[in-house]
């Protein structure tokens, strides 16, 4: 019997997440969106059944699994706030892994991670909770990702690097081997990070340089 789950968010990122869930053992009961005016509309054949405020009621009706279908949106704290609220209600935060992802059996996962098509995660990597590994991203051996990190499409983290929580690595960015990235960092699309990056910074370029503090 398939376990039922809800998806939080109804935007473009949610469409890709739903495609991935369709290939797992879970059945999507419906989508919750912040705007209840969209109730009844379909996203990838799945109905929007309520607003975020309805999550607790659905949990008590027996739908106890959830996944966040919201991307970065320029606010890395939003996903974290939603994650903590769902955990407080009691939801099991599911790891959604697309079947085309290539993942070593020696990878450690927390919960609530979304691993999208054609990603590669190699041996010894450790992922915390509530991370997005977007299409075609690569995590090399022995990388540590903390919590609430978004690796955008085609980004690469080379071996033995350590990425702090709430970090966003833009599309096509590369972090070379052994680098330590602090918390709350934005790495611009196409950047190449060749040295450690302090927390609470925005970094761009090749080689990447800090352009401002947050």
Q: Does the annotation count 141 as an active-site position?
A: yes
| Cβ neighbours of 147 (radius 10 Å) | 20
- 73, pLDDT greater than 70: no
From 45, 141, 150, 162, active-site residue: 141
| Cβ neighbours of 63 (radius 10 Å) | 20
Show the CA angle centred on residue 79, arms to residues 73 and 85, nearest 5°: 150
pTM above 0.75, yes or no: yes
- Cα–Cα dist 27/21, whole Å: 8
Supply the pLDDT for residue 197.
98
- Cα–Cα dist 123/56, whole Å: 37
- 94, pLDDT greater than 90: yes
Supply the pLDDT for residue 137.
98
Supply the pLDDT for residue 120.
98
Supply the pLDDT for residue 22.
79
- Cα–Cα dist 25/133, whole Å: 20
- Cα–Cα dist 119/133, whole Å: 7
Tokens of 132: 């997005």
- Contact (CB, 8 A) for 135 and 117: yes
Q: Please, what is the average pLDDT of the chain?
A: 94
- Residue 162 pLDDT class (50, 70, 90 cuts): very high
SS3 72: coil
Supply the pLDDT for residue 25.
82
Tokens of 4: 């039922």
- Cα–Cα dist 186/166, whole Å: 9
- Cα–Cα dist 169/71, whole Å: 12
For 2, list phi and psi in degrees, rounded to 5: -75, 140
Supply the pLDDT for residue 72.
74
């Amino acid at each position: 019997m398939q376990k039922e789950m809800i998806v939080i968010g109804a935007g473009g990122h949610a469409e890709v997440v739903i495609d991935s869930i369709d290939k797992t053992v879970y059945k999507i009961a419906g989508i919750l969106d912040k705007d209840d005016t969209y109730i009844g509309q379909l996203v990838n054949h799945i109905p929007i059944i309520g607003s975020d405020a309805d999550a607790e009621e659905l949990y008590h009706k027996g739908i106890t699994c959830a996944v966040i279908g919201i991307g970065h949106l320029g606010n890395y704290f939003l996903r974290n706030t939603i994650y903590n609220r769902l955990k407080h209600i009691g939801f099991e935060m599911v790891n959604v892994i697309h079947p085309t992802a290539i993942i070593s059996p020696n990878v450690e996962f927390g919960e609530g991670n979304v691993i999208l098509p054609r990603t590669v995660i190699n041996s010894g990597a450790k992922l915390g909770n509530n991370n997005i590994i977007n299409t075609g991203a690569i995590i090399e051996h022995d990388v540590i990702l903390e919590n609430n990190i978004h690796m955008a499409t085609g980004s690469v983290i080379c071996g033995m690097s350590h990425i702090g929580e709430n970090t966003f690595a833009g599309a096509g960015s590369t972090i070379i081997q052994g680098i330590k990235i602090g918390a709350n960092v934005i790495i611009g699309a196409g950047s190449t990070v060749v040295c450690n990056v302090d927390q609470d910074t925005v970094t761009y370029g090749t080689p990447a340089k800090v352009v401002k503090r947050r």
